[in-house]
Each structure stands twice: as C-alpha cells, then as structure tokens.
Amino acid sequence: MKILVTGGAGYVGSHAVLALRARGADVVVLDNLRQGHAAAVPAGVRLIEGDIGDAALLDPLLGEGFDAVLHFAALSLVGESMQKPMLYLRANAAAGMVLIEACLRHQVGRFVLSSTANLFAGGDAPLDEAAAIDPGSPYGESKWMLERALTWAGRTRGLKSVALRYFNAAGADPDGRLGEDHDPETHLIPLAIDAALGRRPELAIFGTDYPTPDGTCIRDYVHVSDLAEAHVRALERLAAAPEGAALAYNLGTGHGHSVRAVLAAVGRVAGRAVPAQEAPRRAGDPAILVASAARFMAETGWAPRFGDLDTIVATAHAWRVAHPGGYGG
Ligand code: UD1
C-alpha cells in the first residue's frame, strides 16, 4: 500500500506514520513544517515540504499513484480560530477541499480525515455518532465542512472515506521515538508536566465552577498511539466498505477525567505536585466531553491499549524529560 500522510510531521500524524510503517506500508509525508517537525519523520520516509492547498504540487505527487490519503494537516488551536475564523476556514476547509479534489482527479480510493470532538457541544453521557453536530468554533466548523465534502465526494464520485473524531489526543510513543511538541503549547497534559518539572510557572486551572463533581472540566484523553492504530483500522474498514461509503466515528476511551484528576496523575508520575492556581473559565470550553467509541470498536475490533490515564501521562512525561527542548533541542 502506498499512502500519503498530510501533516505526517505533526503530533498525531507522525505517530500514524510509525503505525503504517510497522504494517509495511510505503509512506510519503506532505507537511509545510509550520507546526510539524522534520525530525519527527523517520529516516527512509520521503518528506515533501508543501501545502495541502497547492494543486500544482499535488498533481504530480498524487499522479505517482496512491492507494490512500491520511489527512492530518491542519491549524488546530480552537482559541486562535475564534480570533481568526476565516484563516481557519481557508487553511483547513478550503485547502482541504483542494486536496480532496486532487484525490478525485488521481483516483485515490480511500481517504481518512482527522476530525474532532469540537463538532459537539458536549453532554453528560458519552457522545456517540448520533449526538447533535454543533461545532464550538471555526476550527470545529472547518472539520465539519470537510466531513460534508467527503460525503459528497463519495456520493458523486465514489471516494471511500472515514472521519475520525478524536477527543483529547494525549501521551507519546511508548518506545520514546516521538512526542508532543507544539508552539505555543496549549494542551493540559504537557503544560502540567512542564509545571511539575519546574520549566513553567504554575498551571492555571481554567474554571472551577463547572457542573462536574470537582468543578473542573472533564475530557476523554486518548493515547496518540491508540489513535494511530485507529487509522490503520480505518483503512482496513474502508477496504471492505462499498464504493462511496463516507463513514464517521467518535474516538476516545469512554472515560472522562477532570482537570484536577489530570493534575493528580501528573503529580503521581512526576513524583512532584503540579503547582496550580484557580483561574476563570476559558471561553468555549464545554463542561464534559467524553466519547463513546462503541461503534468503531464493534466495526473494526479496535480498543485502546493505553487507556489508563497514568499510562498516558507516563509516556508524555518520559518524552518531555528526554527532550527538554522538544524536537529542536
Ligand atoms: C481542544 C478541542 C479539540 C481540539 C484540541 C486541539 C474543544 C472542546 N476541544 O481540546 O477538539 O482537537 O483542542 O487543540 O475545543 N486546561 C486548563 N489549563 C490549561 C490548559 C487546559 O485548565 O492551561 C483545561 C481546559 O479548560 C480543558 C482541559 O484542560 O478543560 C483540556 O484542555 P486542552 O488540552 O486545551 O484540550 P481541549 O480544549 O479539551
């Protein structure tokens, strides 16, 4: 199988490249390296620096003949998308449609989209695929637009696709080859680890008056290597799917953890309490977001291998300790 991975130098994409290579796939990475890191692409994998919206680059590339495209490349900061909505709609939705169109021109049979829980407004019970779509930001909306585009690419042109809506991707490759390195870093677990390691000032707990048992937001943290494996399963699922199938699945562990529970886990793993201070709510955060991945599990046999919060945190912690400067240092 020859597979193009857009955003393959980024956090989730690079872990997916490892999973694909472990199955013997011939992988090519397309990444503009604005968020991604060349050092996250394994030796022997061709890295093409460029944009997903560049049709002049895509035509000769996809003309080589690819069985599938795994599409991770995106701007992914929810808060920034509220400040710059058109940037997100252009960079994620409009450019993503250029990519989908190129796939149609070059008979790419299968497409897997990295989608998001930001499609949902949240709820007390684990969210399955029947939950109402109500994107919380232009970021979420841009992913929903791509899901819709894939539905139409399937219905009219036969493209088979899967949208995987991840909840909170977290952790790092258990063998220590890859980790999480964002600039700026906005995610809870790496920030909490850095605070515990004394590399940052105290962590701000965004909101302590949510309608949850301890007043802080609850999220479903799913290990990035489990997400990577889910992409392999999604490709297998599509092989057996009818022409034009446009599938979508929610992906998480089914278990939620509050911000305070995450800080406690980081404290256990680091052997030091996370210095933290209560702060006002962050705009746009739903109180509770937990996935029901029951459909994906039933249809593909996938199950999280690293579902336990302490394991997720331990893998993230090991990578940050070994790479104080991220990929650059
Ligand atoms: C968000 C998006 C998700 C997106 C991801 C990519 C939502 C609902 N989810 O996840 O779709 O793919 O970003 O960036 O928008 N927190 C603190 N202090 C901090 C940082 C975070 O208390 O310094 C809290 C947040 O309020 C939240 C939890 O920790 O409750 C997790 O936050 P974060 O890691 O930023 O992920 P989400 O915002 O849940």
Tell me if 180 is assigned to some domain.
Answer: no
Q: Between 283 and 8, whose confidence is greater?
A: 8
- Whether residue 139 lies in the annotated active site: yes
| Identity of residue 156 | T
pTM over 0.85: yes
Q: pLDDT of 271-305, one tens digit each?
A: 999 999 999 999 889 999 999 999 999 999 999 99
Residues 119 and 210 in one domain: no
Q: pLDDT of 71-88, one tens digit each?
A: 999 999 999 999 999 999
Residues 195 and 123 in one domain: no
Choosing from 230, 251, 272, the residue where a domain stops is: 251
Residues 293 and 236 in one domain: no
User: Which residue in 95, 186, 182 sits closest to 143, CA to CA?
Assistant: 95
| Rounded average pLDDT over 212-239 | 98
Q: Which residues contact 113 (CB under 8 A, 6 or more apart)?
A: 71, 96, 143, 146, 147, 150, 161, 162, 163, 164
Residues 123 and 193 in one domain: no
Tell me if 292 is assigned to some domain.
Answer: yes
Tell me if 329 is assigned to some domain.
Answer: no
Phi, psi of 101 (to 5 degrees): -60, -40
Q: Which residue's C-alpha comes closest to atom 1 of ligand 1?
A: 78
Phi, psi of 150 (to 5 degrees): -70, -35
Tell me if 259 is assigned to some domain.
Answer: yes
Instruction: Give residue 66's pLDDT.
Output: 98
Residues 212 and 232 in one domain: no
Residues 279 and 226 in one domain: no
Tell me if 23 is assigned to some domain.
Answer: yes
Instruction: Give residue 19's pLDDT.
Output: 98
Residues 163 and 21 in one domain: yes
Residue 45, pLDDT > 80, answer yes
Given the structure tokens 């994409």, which residue do they identify? Answer: 13
Residues 84 and 198 in one domain: no
- Pocket test of ligand 1: the residue of 285, 289, 312 to mutate, having most ligand atoms within 8 Å of its CB, is 285
311 pocket-lining for ligand 1 (C-beta < 6 Å) = no
Residues 263 and 153 in one domain: no
Tell me if 327 is assigned to some domain.
Answer: no
* Residues of the domain holding 273: 188-219+254-322
| Rounded average pLDDT over 161-186 | 97
Residues 288 and 215 in one domain: yes
Q: pLDDT of 94-122, one tens digit each?
A: 999 999 999 999 999 999 999 999 999 98
Q: Looking at residue 241, which CATH number applies to its domain?
A: 3.40.50.720
Whole-Å CA distances, 134 to 122, 153, 229, 250, 284: 9, 22, 27, 15, 12
Residues 107 and 214 in one domain: no
Give how many domains the chain has, as a whole number. Answer: 2
Helices 188-196/259-270 angle, 10° precision: 40
Tell me if 181 is assigned to some domain.
Answer: no
Choosing from 199, 231, 251, the residue where a domain stops is: 251
Q: Which atom of ligand 1 is nearest to the CA of 122?
A: 8
Q: Looking at residue 288, which CATH number applies to its domain?
A: 3.90.25.10
- Pocket test of ligand 1: the residue of 259, 262, 281, 312 to mutate, having most ligand atoms within 8 Å of its CB, is 259
Residues 241 and 306 in one domain: no
286 pocket-lining for ligand 1 (C-beta < 6 Å) = yes
Tell me if 54 is assigned to some domain.
Answer: yes
